[in-house]
Amino acid sequence: MISIIIPAHNEYNNLQRLFKAACFLDHEKLWEIIVAISPGNSDSIEMLDCSQKVKLLYCKKKGRAAQMNEASKIALGNIFVFLHADVVPPTGFIDDILTSLQDGYDAGFFSYKFDKDVWYLRVNASFTAKDGLFTGGGDQCLFIKKEAFNQLGKFNEEQVLMEDFEFFRRMKKENVPYTIVKNDLIVSARKYESNSYLRVNLSNFLLVVLFKFGYPGNKLKTLHNKLIRTPYNG
């Protein structure tokens, strides 16, 4: 059974869009969706119009890593899916996850495309179908067996930015078998709408390089908020 975990901080509108568009809510293998809400959340998230499978968890600590870890402690499924609030899954989402795990993988990610159809965003999105430098980002929706997730030690809560890449690095180090499902998620282009394409790409590249050289998570977050006009919301 599957538990979907969504970290949220002032994401009411995106969550409402997600649950209205969700084509997977009635799947028999989906046990629950846990929305892990930050302690600093200030929107009316309790007013969400959503399925009975959706549970709201008011977390003790702020930060995507901490919120996802707290949700994982109460999740009842034996498969965890970590989904961002502004990402809409495709048709066949749950079946793709189940098929990948039945094929012998312990974890996986999805390719994606943006909700704004322009050529340069199509170029960016094309790289998500391949295993490369940017594989493992949170927008690609990590799914993983509960046992493997716990054995890896969950997310590093000190990694306040790029916790997804840090977790993926441990996955590769421990030789956890994973796949990339080529069935596109729909990802928000809001960051590109507030910043230039060049600014976002250069910033992302710099942050990934600094991360790989061991730059501390708190300094990465500070740098991100200086480079990108829309501050990191985790």
What's the pLDDT score for residue 172? 95
Question: Distance from first CA to last CA of the chain, Å, rounded?
Answer: 27
The candidate with the shortest Cα–Cα distance to 168, out of 227, 118, 215, 109, is 109
Instruction: Find out whether 185 and 111 touch, Cβ atoms under 8 Å.
Output: yes
- Order of strands, edge to edge, in the sheet holding 54-58? 54-58, 30-37, 2-8, 79-82, 142-145, 107-114, 178-187, 87-88
**Helix pair angle (197-212, 217-227), 10° resolution:** 170
What's the pLDDT score for residue 184? 96
Distances from the Cα of 121 to the Cα of 36, 118, 226, 231, angstroms: 29, 6, 23, 20
What's the pLDDT score for residue 230? 67
What's the pLDDT score for residue 232? 47
Q: Over the chain (234 residues), what is each successive 10-residue block's mean pLDDT?
A: 96 91 87 94 85 92 95 98 95 96 97 93 92 83 97 94 93 96 93 89 90 88 86 49
What's the pLDDT score for residue 104? 97
Domains in the chain (CATH in brackets) are 2-189 (3.90.550.10)
The candidate with the shortest Cα–Cα distance to 193, out of 91, 107, 86, 97, is 86
**Which positions ≥6 away from 15 have C-beta within 8 Å?**
6, 8, 35, 45, 48, 50, 85
What's the pLDDT score for residue 212? 85
